Amino acid sequence: MIGITFLILAGLALIIAELIFVPGTTIVGILGLVLVISGIFMVFNDYGNIAGYWTIAGTGVVTIIAIVYSFKSNSWDRFSLKSISNSKVNDEDIYAFQVGERGKTISDLKPIGKAEIFGKIYEVRSKGDWIGSGEPIQVVKIDNKRIFVEPIK
């Protein structure tokens, strides 16, 4: 019985870890669910229906208590993002330069990446083409703080 209890508790621990650390349906949550179901099935198989139903009820109560406790103790706050980002892409005045200005890419443009123009770094985009890092580029269009570039040949 200790092994079955451990199996169910380990499954519940994996499911809670899935909720807290690895959100989404991943292998951790699925493994936890399999462990819990396996433990309950083993209780039904080894000890009969009454013990199986009590195990289902106990597992449900423990799960509900764990969820309620975690919300009341604000333990989720430790994992939540508190900072707010108010910055925008190319927030500086990009109208200081015009179409035809030259620069070079700092990262690969696939089609979006970073480039240096007049000593400042901007997020730029190609017209769908891949442009490698360190390539010379030329501004071909500025539209709503989006800078479109193409490689210089």
Residue 35 lies in a domain: yes
Asked if residue 19 and residue 63 are part of one domain, the reply reads yes
What is the CATH number for 104?
A: 2.40.50.140
Q: Are residues 65 and 34 in the same domain?
A: yes
CA dihedral 27→30→31→36, nearest 10 degrees, is: 160
pLDDT tens-digit profile of 113-142? 999 988 888 889 998 888 999 999 999 988
Reported as a single tens digit per residue, the pLDDT across 21-77 is 776 668 888 999 999 999 999 999 999 999 999 999 999 998 888 878 777 777 666
pTM above 0.85, yes or no: no
Does the residue 120 lie in any domain? yes
Paired residues of 131 in beta bridges: 109
The boundaries of the domain holding residue 35 are 2-79
How many residues does the structure list for the chain? 153
99 and 71 assigned to the same domain:
no
